[in-house]
Amino acid sequence: MTREELNGLLDLYAGALAARDAQRLPLASGVRFTENAQAIALDEGLWATATCVSADQIRFIDPATGQAGFMCVAQEHGAPVELTLRLKAEGGRITEIEQFAVRRRPSLFNPENFAPQTLFRDIAPSARATRAALGDAAHAYFNGIERDDGTIIPVRDDCLRIENGVQTVLAKDSDFASSTASQGFNLFEMGVAEQISTGFFAFLPRIRDRRIQLIDEARSMVLAICVFDHPGRLTRVDVKGFGAIDLPPQFCTPLTGLVAELFQVEDGLIRAICATIAMEPYGMKTGW
């Protein structure tokens, strides 16, 4: 399918979801649908509760694989839901739908700042990354977290990262900042590479079930889907050049984060990151 056709499917999807009517979509026989890794019917989950889907969306389209998606805020009975959608189509019919719906939670949740259009921009053709380089950049980011080594990540010093609407780099204030700043160390003022190299993320030793799922060559973007496992074994970590830090309580119990992470690369370096992270029971699979 063409870029324009896939973009049209996204329009149809947003309208159908807001109307709670999946039958408005050109669905293939046997279409596969998951929400937060669970295979459910297309009249359940957010399809049963949505009351609005914002037109303010970050869209990513991959004609080479027939995939497209968006990040935006939906409403569920009037309450905000941070939504990431991926769909796949063949012959004009949707064969796969994968969505992540992050609902209100006590931390790492700011729908007013989720998926801001200003985070991403058009990239000049000469500055866009190849398909291979886009996939490599996403893997390098995840490898850096696993190895506590930001130096292996091709990332700009001024790269912004938004997670569930919360700015978690180059920010004086965040959900987690007070828990570390009160100990004399604010991790969230740092840039991506510097932050990852501190060793703070030792509580997150494994990023599994990685998929470089969708590559938008025209916008130099890549959508990666994976799982962050937090075993919960650690309550303190040693931060390089500082010393021991008590971890925020949410990192001290076993849980799994289902992650859909969108990267934009310019001149070979990651310049922006936006992610939805749905916190689920430890060991959760992606459903794909």
Q: Tens digit of pLDDT for each residue in 47-105?
A: 999 999 999 999 999 999 999 999 999 999 999 999 999 999 999 999 999 999 999 98
| Least trusted range by pLDDT, from 25-29, 159-163, 175-179, 224-228 | 175-179
Distance CA 3, CA 64 (A): 9
Rg of the chain in Å (alpha carbons)? 19
Instruction: Please calculate the CA angle 87-115-89 and round it to the nearest 5 degrees.
Output: 10
Record the pTM.
0.95
